[in-house]
Structure 1
Amino acid sequence: MDYTRQTRFSNPRQHAALFDPLPADPDGIGEVVRNLVVHYRGSGIDFPPDRLTEIDSRWVDRMLDADRGRYAAPLAEPRPQSQRIVGCCRDFTLLTVAALRHKGVPARSRIGFADYFDPLFHLDHVITEYWDGSRWIATDSQLGLPDVRLSTGGLRPAAQVWAAYRRGEIDVDKFGVGPELPDELRGAAFVRNYVIYELAHRRGDELLLWDVWGGVSLQLGDDLAVIDEIADLLQSADAGDRGAERKLADLYASDPRLRPGDHITCATPDRAPSRVDLRRST
């Protein structure tokens, strides 16, 4: 897969020229993105319902529509925190990925569980990974962390967490959205879904973390062999196995449980689920 090319989700479309003045380095782009996005929960701001709808923008051009609705200034022009695009880690990441791709830098999003938020709980998180010409480097543009390990102590990709759970090495109930939240937002079934999300993002379907399709389910289910296979292939591909990368592409293309179709369900936090048509004319 060519990670310099925009996907249907990362494509800025009519806003592409806004990326032209940005620096070409990931740190500089991350600084601009932190000026554009505010976390819907982590900021502590009580956003009104009309602003909270921005967390479902999904496509980069629609995120930038929200910013353009408030500002005509360049993206690097300071925005007050309360007037930034309301989003989450996925949105910080996808804007960073979009800007890097615009600059010709291969970039993709990585989904997993971060060890650096809470010493007792591993929070779900999405960060950027870019190719520097010789290796993939992970960076957290939400927090401004320039070189994040994709392993213990950094961001553990969902595939790693699943494999460790299946080997009986971790307490999987300590992986999820937060220790104080409902049981369905942590644990084995939650990590299982994130393996599917990790694959989808790797294949260019950078959906929201509350989008539901195919094999995504609140139940652990009985299809664990395919999750085991995906997790194994993802780890092998990370280690440089090109055959594993090809197998992931074939599996994603052939198994309708793994990829979104024309419609998905958006299970937005604190709101009723809604059906979303992913087909777009532009």
Structure 2
Amino acid sequence: MNVDRYEKPVAMSDPGRHAALFDGLPRGAGALATTVQGLLIHQHIAPAYGVTLGGDRQAQSQVRAVETMLDEIVTRDARPLAVARAVNERQVGVCRHFTLLHVAMLRTQGIPARARCGFGAYFEAGRYLDHWVTEYWNEDRQCWVLFDSQIDDRQRELFGIGFDAADVPRDQFLVAGDAWSLCRAGRRDPGAFGILDMHGLWFIAGNLVRDICALNNREMLPWDVWGAMRMQDSELDLSFFDRLASVSCEPDAHVDELDALDRDERVRIPKAVFNAVLDCVQDVKLKVAGVANV
């Protein structure tokens, strides 16, 4: 199994000048997930913790890089990262931020890990909601395991989750490629996939692009839009997304294809992307393996 590309923090997952903050963290996927939960609060689930977020706090969910997340965390509280912050003092993010910080910590401990973009079946009955989780290499089991580092005891109760979030069943979290393939085969309804009032094959296609980029260590915001993403099913190049789905479903069997897609303008991160939440174009600077996006 080729796990080399997922063994070290790079680009968005690189703690940069804050790397020393990861020294002394508890070891292992479970302990690191608990650490992440003590540092972050989900923007849309904050009320369940008795927290009301103002606009300035909500803006924290627009942060892309782990290094910047750590900037803000330690500016508010300089204690070691293993010390859980009060719920109203935690860095605000969404599932992608929990996942990326978890991935960064795992990689720092030499545990291969990657962020996966797809859909969770465990938040709303009969729906598959836009979601990100960690996928890490379990050396004992010799396989990739899905870990939802966002799910703590409060959320387990809130959403009625009965499985172990440290080993999410593959039918409870569908990576984007699986969601696409099931819908294309008529085995799932595309209208069940999305979030808020946004659902459909076009939404799955957007997550497919994001998942491929995450597999290439470019973990963008869930609302960043670029390249082959479209807002209407009728505008999709179905054969192209079929190809992306095959890579998303079995990334380790398509390493060369992943590399090729990293150079494909329909997938490759451009210098600027459209932020659909802020309704504006934003510059994005990325550097992976010494190559910047141009």
Taking structure 2 as the reference length, the TM-score comes to 0.86
C-alpha contact 1:38 1:84 (8 A) present in aligned 2: yes
Residue pair 1:234, 1:245 contacting (<8 A) in 2 also: no
Would you say 1:15 and 2:38 are equivalent positions? no
Instruction: Say whether residues 1:111 and 2:117 are aligned partners.
Output: yes
The 5 A counterparts of 1:81-230 are 81-133=87-139, 134-144=142-152, 145-150=165-170, 152=171, 154-177=172-195, 181-182=196-197, 185-220=198-233, 221-230=235-244
Question: Where does structure 1 lack aligned partners over 5 or more consecutive residues?
Answer: none
CA deviation map 1:80-127 (0-9, x unaligned)? 111101000000000000001111110001111111112221111101
Which residue number in structure 1 is paired with residue 8 of structure 2?
Answer: 5
Cα distance per residue 1:160-211 (max 9 Å; x no partner) = 111111111111111111xxx32xx211110111111111100111011011
Q: What TM-score results when the alignment is normalised by the length of structure 1?
A: 0.90
Give, in whole Å, the separation in 1 of the partners of 2:247 and 2:42.
Answer: 32
Counterpart-to-counterpart distance in 2, 1:37 and 1:113: 21
For 2:121 and 2:59, locate their aligned partners in 1 and report how far apart those are by CA, in whole Å.
29
Residue 51 of structure 1, CA deviation? 1.2
Aligned mates of 2:279, 2:263 — CA distance in 1: 31
RMSD: 1.8
Secondary structure of the equivalent of 1:117?
coil
CA-to-partner distance for each residue in 1:31-84, whole Å, 9 max, x for gaps?
A: 000001100011223311111111011000111111112101011212111110
Instruction: Report percent identity of matched pairs.
Output: 33
Alignment of 1:52 with 2:58, yes or no, is: yes
Name which of 278, 285, 288 aligns with 1:278: 285
Structure-1 residue corresponding to 2:157: none
Deviation of 1:279 (Å): 5.1
Number of the residue aligned with 1:31: 34
Structure 2 residue ranges without an equivalent (≥5):
153-164
Q: Is the 8 Å Cα contact of residues 272 and 281 (structure 2) preserved in structure 1? A: no
Amino acid at match of 2:239: A
How far off its partner does 1:277 sit?
A: 3.2
* Structure 2: distance between partners of 1:192 and 1:75: 36
> How far apart, CA to CA, are the structure 2 residues paired with 1:157 and 1:229?
15
The alignment status of 1:262 with 2:271, answered yes or no, reads yes
Contact map agreement 1:129 1:138 (CA 8 A) in 2 = yes
Q: For residues 201 and 275 of structure 1, what CA distance do their matches in structure 2 show?
A: 19
Large movers: runs of 4+ above 6 Å: none
Number of residues of Structure 1 aligned to a counterpart in Structure 2: 268
* Aligned-partner residue type, residue 121 of structure 1: R
What secondary structure, in the 3-state scheme, does the structure 2 residue paired with 1:259 have? coil
